[in-house]
Amino acid sequence: MSIRRRKLAAAQQLTAALSPGTDPNTSAASDDATCLPHIIRSNYVTSIADWALGSLSKSKAGKGATPAAAVHLSPELWTVLATVLQSHFLPSGYSLPASLLSGVTKAVEDVANGSCPSETCAALPAPLTEILTILRTQYSAAYKPSLEHLIGLIEAVLAASEKGSEWSPVATAGVAFALPMLQQHPNQRKVWDAVVPRLLPMLLAAAFPRVGSRTRGDSELEGLCRLMLQSVLFNAAHVLGKAGGTKCFCVNKCHSQIRTFI
């Protein structure tokens, strides 16, 4: 067993012990862990989170990456990370790096471009969906990825959703995570410039799928993509500007015609 696999196995055992009820096979270890002071358990959970996030930041993506280097394709690592991010022993001010969302995006991109082994692909959707849901529900106030990171995530999850219905929950969780941040972005012109050239065809296909397509019937994903299209294409910052320009044009045209008539 490689060093990375041994570390992962140890992290899984420790996480299960610090999260009573998650694994019946670790009940004795869980009982021992509950006897530890809160600060000790907090240090353990923080160390596991630091290790998992650090491993993701060093992960290599693409068809040339070896399984050992492609840490972002480890369902077990994502499961461990999802567990510790939800732990009440993790300090409330714990800071998440941008590499976390990049890791999710790399994993989904490898699925979309066929770089992910089939057995791994089958186990990835559940933990990735959980991670994205945790980010949206528990960390949205503090975790603010860049616009480029959000666009990359949306592009990856929509592409992966075409690979099979099992990836629709990941796409739904990804779009649901990104949508409020795009809506609240202070510069809607930048959002337009980032979304329309790169994502418009994909969003339209997901929002209005053809009959018989793989994503057909995922009403939640369809609704979220329609909301994203609406918020980007018909944002007041764009619509009011265009309306004002049209009004000025019409008024000037009318005045010109009146002067000609007189």
Secondary structure string (H, E, C) spanning the chain: CCHHHHHHHHHHHHHHHHCCCCCHHHHHHHHHHHCCCHHHHHHHHHHHHHHHHHHHHCCCCCCCCCCCCCHHHCHHHHHHHHHHHCCCCCCCCCCCCHHHHHHHHHHHHHHHCCCCCHHHHHHCHHHHHHHHHHHHHHCCCCCCCCHHHHHHHHHHHHHHHCCCHHHHHHHHHHHHHHHHHHHCCCCHHHHHHHHHHHHHHHHHHHHCCCCCCCCCCCHHHHHHHHHHHHHHHCCHHHHHHHHHHHHHHHHHHHHHHHHHHC
| CB atoms inside a 10 Å sphere around CB 78 | 25
Neighbour count for residue 64 (Cβ, 10 Å): 9
Q: Report the predicted TM-score, pTM, of the whole model to 2 decimal places.
A: 0.84
pLDDT per residue, tens digit, the chain (262 aa), is 678 889 999 999 989 888 765 444 544 445 556 678 889 999 999 999 999 999 998 887 666 666 666 889 999 999 999 999 999 999 988 999 989 999 999 999 998 888 888 888 899 999 999 999 999 999 999 999 999 999 999 999 999 999 888 999 999 999 999 999 999 999 999 999 999 999 999 999 999 987 555 544 568 999 999 999 999 999 887 666 555 554 555 445 545 544 554 4
Task: Show the domain range for 97.
Answer: 3-261
- Number of domains within the chain: 1
